[in-house]
Chains A and B, each alone.
Chain A
Amino acid sequence: MDFGAINPVVLFASLMVASTPILLAAIGELVVEKSGVLNLGVEGMMITGAICGFAIAVETGSPTLGFIAAMAGGAALSLVFGFLTQVLMSNQVATGLALTLFGLGFSALIGQGYVGTKPPATDRLNLGVLSDIPILGRMLFSHDLIVYLSLALVATVWAFLRFTRAGLILRAVGENHDAAHALGYKVVRIRLAAIAFGGACAGLGGAYLSLVRVPQWTEGMTSGAGWIALAIVVFASWRAGRVLLGAYLFGGVAVLQLNLQAAGLAVPVELLSASPYLVTILVLVIMSADRGRAALNAPASLGRVFHAST
């Protein structure tokens, strides 16, 4: 065993990178679910964002444009879901699953010409003095813009849901769409906006995978990250702060277990391999159990079809 080989500073830096795609997708899905819509198509939107971002970044040579295209692609796909579930009132679970299947196939189709291509490098943000701080600089202040953006997004979503009138309306729509409708709020429009936001976040998360974390395009490259994001939203009992905790726990333990394996830790590898799932679920469940009302935290209208006439 050789723990000296694990450098905690580098480990933490890797952790932040590894967690960002899931964090982005999860925080987007949190807003969608808070508005009372269950979109199971996160995986499909992520991978669509991954290829849209990758393709545009390669064609234009600009990762920034790639990230914007990824958000647009994810949002566009999510609006297909929005149209079907909100306007045509289809079943949300089935439509969401279909969206995942569609996204996986569609991204494979667009991606045909991009297998083996290398994307332009995404620059690390130059934070000047901050990046030069020993240890902390390498750990926290030497990442690319998207990592910070994802953190800012969590804070923004938290503040939005907690302190703003618009956030209150969004929650009202998610808790009781009939009452919100009776008060004169445009339930469908608000939900569509939330769905598009969720799609954009998932798309951005996907592009972070294909442009920074891996960086390359491979079919099916999200391999389940979208489902992890969905699970984290539930285990975080629909709270922004816990989504951050969940995503970093999952990403962190996933990176840590690989490092422990490489260092030769004498723990069964199967256990290490399962540890990201076990630890994340365990921690979040224990945290929610504390309050005793975690189950009540689910938006009351989650997944229910809304029609103005009923």
Chain B
Amino acid sequence: MNRRTLLASAALALGLAGTALAQDKTKVGFVFVGPIGDGGWTYEHNQGRLAVEEHFGDAVETVYQESVPEGADAERVLTQMALSGADLIFTTSFGYMDPTINVAQKFPNVKFEHATGYKRADNVGTYSARFYEGRAVQGLIAGHMTESNIIGYIASYPIPEVIRGINSAYIHARKVNPDVQFKVIWAYTWFDPAKEADAATALIEQGADVILQHTDSTAPQAAAEKAGNVYTFGQASDMAEYAPKPRISSIIDNWTPYYIDRVQAVIDGAWTSDDTWDGIGAGMVKIGEITDAVPAEVKAEAEALIEAIGSGAYHPFTGPLNKQDGSVWLAEGETADDGTLLGMNFYVEGLTGEIPQ
């Protein structure tokens, strides 16, 4: 054996050892849009990651990167993660959609799971939760609780997921309180406590006494508490530290079962690209405890709604519903199809203001 073949076989052996080692442990990466301590969206994704670690023990190694900006930076982070040997990568924000697709093309052997998006490939699956089901419950409670009939809504970005939430909350608030009016502020951020607090304060100063938020920090809760007679809902996470008032209920994202399921699929070699969109029924969306600040009959009504949505007996987008311009969207008894919901870019009738395009 001359030196060259020796080196070659050594390299081969090393390479084999390397793959063997990699196969020992499944490496799962997570890319987060905020810090894991945000108390909301990213916090819950990280809870899912921790559950994966606990469930699989030594068989799985997880890595994560927090506060990754949506855009070119995300692509860099993803490439880095894929190069470092990740087998499965969860990208947990809408804005990672194109970066995920781009990087996935370069690494056909790495599996990607993108949250809340709609672009898929052979090695890119998508998953999301039907948050609008929870929004329906919030809207119902908010409609009952408001005395000024002004409900403030801190929206993040004008994407279908957020617009669905506004529509769903509005439809159910109006159902129990026909005089209700929504004031929407687009914060153009998922996470900026100071700005979220300012937005909440601006809404409160303009008469809102119930605040819904689609941003990730607990700052609006603190602002509402400071202002006094204002009610809020936990977003993405329970935010129970602000219960029983101002936080009177919450939407909790429960990613744990899904993450464990998908990691198992990768270990078994059974992973295929798909689109998962689960709601209250499957347990991906949970409604946090409705506190005693809410009257008992309202609470009972909300629980009945949760039950109806969970069992599939009721769809939050059930006709008759018109679009903002008055044109008919859904006829009596008709329910919205997922395609329309996923691409939703219009307000329903009664909402004021325009969606930024």
> Which residues from chain A sit less than 8 Å from chain B, CB to CB?
5-7, 10-11, 14, 18, 21, 108, 111-112, 115-118, 209, 213-216, 218-225, 254-255, 258-259, 261-264, 266, 268-270, 273
Q: Give CA–CA (A166, B189) in the complex, Å.
A: 44
* Max chain B C-beta neighbours (<10 A), residue from A18, A216, A263, A268: A216
Which residues on the A side are within 8 Å of B206 (C-beta)? 5-6, 259, 262-263
Q: Give CA–CA (A66, B38) in the complex, Å.
A: 22
Q: Is the CB of B194 within 8 A of A214?
A: yes
Given A262-B203, A264-B353, 11 extra CB contacts under 8 A = A6-B205, A14-B202, A14-B205, A111-B37, A118-B225, A215-B222, A220-B35, A222-B194, A258-B202, A269-B158, A270-B188
Is B119 among interface residues, defined by CB-CB distance under 8 A?
no
Which residues on the A side are within 8 Å of B203 (C-beta)? 262
Is B100 among interface residues, defined by CB-CB distance under 8 A?
no
Output the least CB separation between B162 and chain A (Å).
Answer: 13
Q: Is the CB of A218 within 8 A of B198?
A: no
> Which residues from chain B sit less than 8 Å from chain A, CB to CB?
34-39, 67, 152, 158, 183-189, 191-195, 197-199, 201-203, 205-208, 217-219, 222-223, 225-226, 241, 352-354, 356
Q: Give CA–CA (A254, B34) in the complex, Å.
A: 22
Q: Is the CB of A261 within 8 A of B219?
A: no
Q: Give CA–CA (A41, B201) in the complex, Å.
A: 30
Q: Is the CB of B205 within 8 A of A216?
A: no
Q: Is the CB of B194 within 8 A of A213?
A: yes
Offer 23 A-B interface pairs, CB within 8 angstroms, sorted by A. Answer: A6-B206, A14-B201, A21-B194, A108-B35, A115-B39, A117-B241, A118-B222, A214-B193, A216-B219, A218-B39, A218-B219, A220-B38, A221-B217, A223-B189, A258-B187, A262-B152, A262-B184, A264-B183, A264-B352, A268-B356, A269-B356, A270-B356, A273-B186
Which residues on the A side are within 8 Å of B187 (C-beta)? 258
Q: Give CA–CA (A305, B198) in the complex, Å.
A: 41
Q: Give CA–CA (A285, B52) in the complex, Å.
A: 52
Q: Give CA–CA (A209, B183) in the complex, Å.
A: 26
Output the least CB separation between A210 and chain B (Å).
Answer: 9
Which residues on the B side are within 8 Å of A115 (C-beta)? 37, 39
Q: Give CA–CA (A264, B223) in the complex, Å.
A: 22
Given contacts A219-B37, A223-B191, contact A5 B185 (CB under 8 A): no
Residue of B nearest to A15 (CB): B198
Q: Is the CB of A214 within 8 A of B219?
A: yes
Output the least CB separation between B189 and chain A (Å).
Answer: 8
